[in-house]
Structure 1
Amino acid sequence: MPSAAERTRTLVQSTCSAVLIVPGAEGARADQLMPDVRTVGADGEVFLLFPADAPVVRAATHAQDDELRAVLELTDVAPVAVPHRIRGRAWVSGWLTCAPGIAEPGHMMLRLEVGEVYVDDLWGDAAVSAEDFAAASPDPLMEYETELLQHLAAAHDDHVQGLSGLLGDRAGVRRVVPLALDRFGLRVRCRDTAGRSFDARFDFPEPVQEIHGLRRAMHALFEAAARD
């Protein structure tokens, strides 16, 4: 399974929604707290791009040499329609400063020095050290996941429904929807005839590193379901 550090790096560098919570910007609208771009630096710091007049930029500018604590809160929502669509949340807290001279005119890059990280997702909840966060890499399928899950749901629904045959003794599955995809496997959300939901996980024979390997792994999975 992906480590908690890898899962958090994936969320930070993905397109899931994020807001930056900063003292002094409590009255700002939610959209004013959402960075336009977020990246992770070589030392594990998180860079966040905002308009120069954003409330969080003003707060960071006024703080100057004082330590300004901030929390980047991330919410991961499934890209397909499933019951209970929130797949996970993560919180990256640390100290916020301005990083002038990096952004284009009209914008300001903020630097979040990571102190504490916590993730609560489909795998469970865990704390992550700043060192482990810095050393981790995002999942290699991160940039493809949304499109691939939507494609599976729209164009290969018959194959997805066939995965219910691999669930062993569990009977009465009425609907299967692709929920999450990473280099280790595919997770689906099932609904039984009584309307109850549960998740199932199908691991790939070996971790997938790129899109061509994923296609081979998915074909093997669907073929196994067809033979069952």
Structure 2
Amino acid sequence: MYETVTARPTDAESIRTACMRVTAAMVAIEGAEPSPVTMVHLFDGQAFLLIGSDTAAMAAAADTNEGIAAMIEVTDCAPIELRERVRSLIWLNGTLHKVPADLERDLAMEIAMDHPSDELLDLGHGSSMLRVQLSGAVIATAAGAASVSAEELTRAVPDPFWENEADWISHLDSEHSELVVQMSRRLPPAMRTGRVRPLGIDRFGIRFRVEADCGEGDRDSDVRLSFDRPVTDVVELSKALRALAGCPFLNSLPAE
């Protein structure tokens, strides 16, 4: 698999965005089975995790006041069915600490202001909170792997469309396949022979997964079409998508 890259979010921004909409994550510590994580919230060089109260990571964190080395693996998946749904893999490294039970609710209320999640309601009902003091991260995509420092993660912000992107991609794939065809005419000729599917949307542009015909030597590929300039709201996003499709008078593309 390979990827054509033009204007795009930074690696740190991509990590922040993927963590905001995490659908699959695990935390691993030495000598124990990885524990599932239902939420990852990044703030000020730290990662706050929601995790089962009876997991191995929770027990290990409770046994030490010094913290324990840990790695969080976040899998960023496309919101539609693809031959390979993974868009990126992210590894967050740092030191795991238990959050005192009497602070969990206050922290959850603060987190919910920036990162609303139904999983926060599970605190005290089978779920607990852990904190990871981050030392760095790695993100792997079709384009390769890159290291990101904790300082870069602290400065980065998630994409403004993170909360609605999944619905928009699903709507575009199921209801507007003709627009995908129109936009795919802008792809390099070698990429027009496979099945083109929408993969992601951000303020810089739209990404597609081109699923090859699986002949010998064929590979799926990811390609990005950039907007003329970064967009900041849904109105600008709609205009930018219509421009890529060559249909300036179409109704708004993003789904409600």
TM-score by length of 1: 0.86
Q: What is aligned with 1:69?
A: 69
After superposition, where does 1:164-179 map in structure 2 within 5 Å?
Answer: 164-167=184-187, 169-170=189-190, 173-179=193-199
SS in 2 for 1:219: helix
Is the partner of 2:164 in helix, strand or coil?
A: helix
**Map of 2:51 onto structure 1:** 50
- Separation (CA, whole Å) in 1 of partners of 2:245 and 2:27: 41
Q: Which amino acid aligns with 1:54?
A: T
On the 8 A contact 1:95/1:113 being kept in 2, the answer is: yes
Please state if 1:220 is matched with 2:243.
Answer: yes
SS at match of 1:71: strand
The corresponding residue for 1:20 is 27
Bigger RCO of structures 1 and 2 (CA < 8 A, at least 6 apart): 2
C-alpha change, 1:192 and 1:66, in structure 2 (3 Å) is closer
The answer to whether the Cα contact below 8 Å between 1:2 and 1:184 also exists between their aligned partners in 2 is yes
The answer as to 2:155 corresponding to 1:135 is yes
The count of residues paired between Structure 1 and Structure 2 equals 219
3-state secondary structure, aligned to 1:205 = coil
Superposition pairs for residues 125-204 of structure 1, below 5 Å?
A: 125-167=145-187, 169-170=189-190, 173-191=193-211, 196=218, 197-204=220-227
Work out whether residues 90 and 138 of structure 2, in 8 Å CA contact, stay in contact via their aligned partners in 1: yes
Taking a change above 3 Å as real, the CA distance of residues 205 and 95 of structure 1, as seen in their structure-2 partners, is same
Offset from partner CA, 1:87-138 (integer Å, 9 cap, x none): 1101001001111123343442110000121011144311001111111111
CA contact 2:191–2:210 (8 Å) conserved in 1: no
Quick one: which amino acid aligns to residue 59 of structure 1? A
Q: Out of 1, 6, 15, which is 1:8 matched to?
A: 15
What secondary structure, in the 3-state scheme, does the structure 2 residue paired with 1:56 have? helix
Quote how far apart the aligned CAs of 1:212 are. 2.3
SS of 1:207's equivalent in the other structure is: coil
- In structure 2, relative to structure 1, the CA distance for the partners of 1:154 and 1:95 (3 Å cut) is same
Instruction: Report the aligned-residue RMSD.
Output: 2.4
SS state of the match for residue 131, structure 2? strand
CA distance in 2 between partners of 1:154 and 1:171 (Å):
21
Pair 1:187–1:65, CA change in 2 (3 A): same
Counterpart contact for 2:22–2:40, Cα < 8 Å:
no
Maintained 8 Å contact 1:102/1:109: no
1:218, distance to aligned residue in structure 2 (A): 1.0
1:8 is paired with a residue whose SS is helix
Select the residue among 35, 39, 42 that pairs with 2:41. Answer: 39
Partners of 2:191 and 2:12 in 1: CA distance: 35
Do the aligned partners of residues 131 and 82 (structure 1) sit closer, same or farther apart at CA in structure 2, a change above 3 Å counting? same
Q: Percent identity?
A: 32
Offset, 1:169: 4.2
What are structure 2's unaligned runs of at least 5 residues? 1-7, 105-122, 250-256
Does structure 1 conserve the Cα–Cα contact (< 8 Å) formed by 2:185 and 2:192? no
Asked if 1:108 corresponds to 2:115, the answer is no
CA separation of 1:201 and 1:39: change in aligned 2, threshold 3 A? same
